[in-house]
Structure 1
Amino acid sequence: MNRQQVEFHASCGHLISAPADRAGQDVRCPHCHQVVRAPSADVPYASPVLVPAPAVSAEPTALTALYVTALVAGVLGAACVYLVMFNELSESELITITPLWFFPIVFGLYGFVSQRLLRRIAAGRAGSLGEAARMSIDVAGFWAVPVLFPFLVLRWRSSLLVSLAAAGFWAVLLWLFFAVLFPTL
């Protein structure tokens, strides 16, 4: 039995098709998971009617700026330490200043990742932060579990709290790393 299909482009640009009986109804793009409205079957080459996005508050914009600033500061700090000052610093000095560049990078990266995961929850593609993280692990592979571990155990819906907790998690790991490799420093 050959079922008639309605083909149209999702907001991500991918050509998707839906059964003709779904014309005029909401369907989920299998590529970007965005919900779009399938056009009527009698309108050729119709573009989808997007479901209106929820209103975005100013808080994510301010937090995004904070995450960008932290990330840029951390990368510049690491570049300065390892490209400019490396030969003048002792091992103990290098270890001492590592948190000054490491934590801004971790804070910024986890801030971005938590914002993305929280958008999945807001869009209805995930019910919790852990579920959203598991979706990313499914895509990225098992190697992503150590990076996404804080998201698997945290229940908060604030990217700031999540990124602070993740930075604390990595602080403990960094301390253990230095305690094992450089116990005398």
Structure 2
Amino acid sequence: MNSNIVWHNASVTTGERNEQKGHAPCLLWYTGLSGSGKSTIANAVDRILFERGCHTYLLDGDNVRHGLNSDLGFDDNSRKENIRRITEVANLFADAGLIVGTAFISPFIADREQARNLAKETFIEVFVDTPLEICEQRDPKGLYTKARKGEIPNFTGISSPYEAPPSPQIHIETDKLSIEEAANQIVEYLVKHKVIPA
């Protein structure tokens, strides 16, 4: 860090932002295999929260790679940097008082812990737990087919590992729940933990 760079404290406090928005900020970190339903569930939650008057923003993995992270590949180091950048951006949004959703595979526990350490108490890990065989059956982008043919190297769940969260705050088993049920489970968690009003 350059010694000429100085941190400036904001004149608006977190409490003031919470009061203005009517809810606390948080970072909903959706993690799971490709095709698990992360983006679908995250968007369903975002719609419910928006209609309840909450201030939200959703950072989706593919969307972010079109811009902010368009220079990154899919090797382990690029994936780590992808998650580091997203963590920084999401934390800024949460600091502004928003409920932020991030829908990324984020396959490595260490990277998710780095996000948790930065976001602190606002971090809520949402494990979108879908069996690999179901993800492959869905294969909405045709990625598993390509990965099985060896056309996509370092593909999570096939040629690169996915480290499942050992103790996520929210565990969504998509083979047992509808999208609506999964979204409601997450919203109920936010109500129970006083992130949003009942």
TM over 0.5: no
The normalised TM-score by structure 2 is 0.21
- RCO higher in structure (CA 8 A, sep ≥6): 2
Quick check: which has more Rg, 1 or 2? 1
The normalised TM-score by structure 1 is 0.22
Q: Could you say which structure has the higher helix fraction? A: 1
